[in-house]
Structure 1
Amino acid sequence: MCAASVLVIYESINTISNGAGYFTEVNTTKTLTEIDMSALPISAMAVTIVSKAILFFLCYRIKTPTMSALSSDHQNDVASNIVALICGLIGSFAYKKSINEKLIFIGPMGAILISLYIIFTWIRQANGQVKRLTGLTADPRFLSQITWITYHHSPLIEKIDTVRAFYFGTSYLVEVDIVLREDMMLKQAHDIGESLQKKIEELPEYAFARIDHEYSHSPGDEHKVV
């Protein structure tokens, strides 16, 4: 989308330059670019605006990173087609000299503005997705939610050693270290850890719960830290 928008900006600048020569040069051979706004392109843009608006509202209601990217794409399509329709109609009337002929510049100027908007929104969207794909630490509110679930899971949990969560694609990779009694039976400790893991996985995010009986050691003593 960004590459296409850059190309649109380039073509729009050429159109403006050509139009400026038409109005300023004496005995110029340059001509204005015709803008076809017949019933067919108008109908196509109107259908696109309505359909993309419906898709935007449907995707916006689903709060996932994938749906967020799709809703942003549909929003860009709605905005770009509305601007294209309005500017195209103004440019078409200007070309036919129904209004001031110099208003034909509205078309390429509108294309430049909407292209800059699309570039900005996609760079912002890409920045957020790159952070997720590179294992960004989860939001503090999500970490607090995991801590609350763990704290209220069982009265046999003596301490919460560590709560970590990282973006793992569009979901989270969660790691929880809980401290149990040193003399607790393995079966009981396993059942507490497994039930906690299943409870966290219902959020739904991928989770891994590790059991420990003391909290004074460093995580690097047991596992490779990456």
Structure 2
Amino acid sequence: MTSKANAGLISIWISLVSNIALTILKIVVGLLFASPVLVADGIHNAGDIIATVAALTSSMVSKKPADDEHPYGHGKAEVVASALVAVILAIAALWIGYHAVLTLREPPESVSLLPLTAAVVSLVWKQALYVYTIRVGRAVNSKSVLATAYDHLADVYASLAAVIGLGLAYIGERLDWSWAAYGDPVAGIVVSLLVLKLAYEMGTDAIDILMERNVAPGKLALYEKVIAGESEIRRIDRVRAREHGHYIIVDVRVGIPSHYTIQQGHDIGRALKRRIMDSDPDVVEVLVHMNPWNEGE
């Protein structure tokens, strides 16, 4: 668990440093060469810094052990950060779309090679960060790391739009293609819709977890299969499970013979808890409730 937590924190720290560097690069080059699209992308990256700080803080809080005030742990801190990132992405999407519409109404700007190079560097860098963080996020099952990865993916879309737009404008100037100057704003509008869709999916997922939606049917089926394999259990009354950020809590109600002693029921419950946790490494707690079962039921 410690090594997984460290891997997640390292990936978020790398993302934070990268976002700071890319923000400075885009804004400085954009201002020096009067590139509105690059400045807008840099401002978008500035919002990513806030999102990454939120992910870093929540990841550190979520690893704290359970206490008297938070008996189920602090895992949902990551979900709150994921919801915050979704809001930031939605704002960024609206910003990109608004800027793209304004650009459509303005005379096309002359494009230099350096802004185009900066956009390409950003695209490659962000794609590498996305691949890295999505792998780490899935490996450690961290909502904050996954939120950071999807934030990088949104940046990939934005950087791709900048590369397409700046590239078309740069080539269009040299080949006298007047229509090419509008490739940037059109690409920006498309990207804003993609980022808005991503924000919606992240936000609904975070809300579902905060509202304690049941886990995927496949996981429930796995837990039921494990329970059914216990010879002392005569009936499965209910199986529920909920995500708590990077871990899962399972709630089970089963029937055992009514003549069993409390000690026997206790031993069956402990064995069942261990088997469920062994079947799914994401499960950190199993609450088992025993109901009486009588012959003939």
TM-score, shorter chain, exceeding 0.5: yes
* Whole-Å separation in 2 of the counterparts to 1:14 and 1:60: 34
Match of 1:133 in 2: 210
What amino acid sits opposite 2:134 in the alignment?
A: Y
* Whole-Å separation in 1 of the counterparts to 2:147 and 2:124: 19
Which runs of at least 4 in structure 1 moved beyond 4 Å after TM superposition?
A: none
**Alpha-carbon distance, 1:35 to partner:** 4.5
Match of 1:182 in 2: 258
Task: Say whether residues 1:89 and 2:167 are aligned partners.
Answer: yes
Task: Say whether residues 1:111 and 2:188 are aligned partners.
Answer: yes
* Whole-Å separation in 1 of the counterparts to 2:171 and 2:238: 67
**Alpha-carbon distance, 1:42 to partner:** 3.2
**Alpha-carbon distance, 1:60 to partner:** 3.4
Residues 1:98 and 1:193: Cα distance change in structure 2 (over 3 Å): same
Deviates more, 1:75-84 or 1:62-71: 62-71
TM-score (structure 2 length as normaliser): 0.60
Match of 1:210 in 2: 289
Q: Percent identity?
A: 21
Match of 2:129 in 1: 55
Residues 1:35 and 1:191: Cα distance change in structure 2 (over 3 Å): farther
Which of structures 1 and 2 has the bigger CA Rg? 1
Match of 1:155 in 2: 231
**Alpha-carbon distance, 1:112 to partner:** 1.2
* Whole-Å separation in 2 of the counterparts to 1:159 and 1:51: 54
Structure with higher RCO (Cα < 8 A, 6+ apart): 2
Instruction: Mark the runs of 5 or more structure 2 residues left unpaired by the alignment.
Output: 1-88
Match of 1:78 in 2: 156
Write out per-residue CA displacement over residues 155-205 of structure 1, whole angstroms, 9 at most, x where no aligned residue: 222222221223334543311112222222322221110121122234222
Q: Which has the higher helix share?
A: 2
Match of 1:146 in 2: 223
What amino acid sits opposite 1:155 in the alignment?
A: S
Match of 1:223 in 2: none
User: Any idea what SS the aligned residue of 1:213 has?
Assistant: strand
Kept in 1, the 8 Å contact 2:90–2:199? The answer is: yes
**Alpha-carbon distance, 1:85 to partner:** 0.8
Kept in 2, the 8 Å contact 1:133–1:169? The answer is: no
Write out per-residue CA displacement over residues 77-103 of structure 1, whole angstroms, 9 at most, x where no aligned residue: 223212211211212344x46422232
What amino acid sits opposite 1:109 in the alignment?
A: V
Task: Say whether residues 1:15 and 2:91 are aligned partners.
Answer: no
Residues 1:97 and 1:51: Cα distance change in structure 2 (over 3 Å): closer
Instruction: Mark the runs of 5 or more structure 1 residues left unpaired by the alignment.
Output: 19-31, 216-226
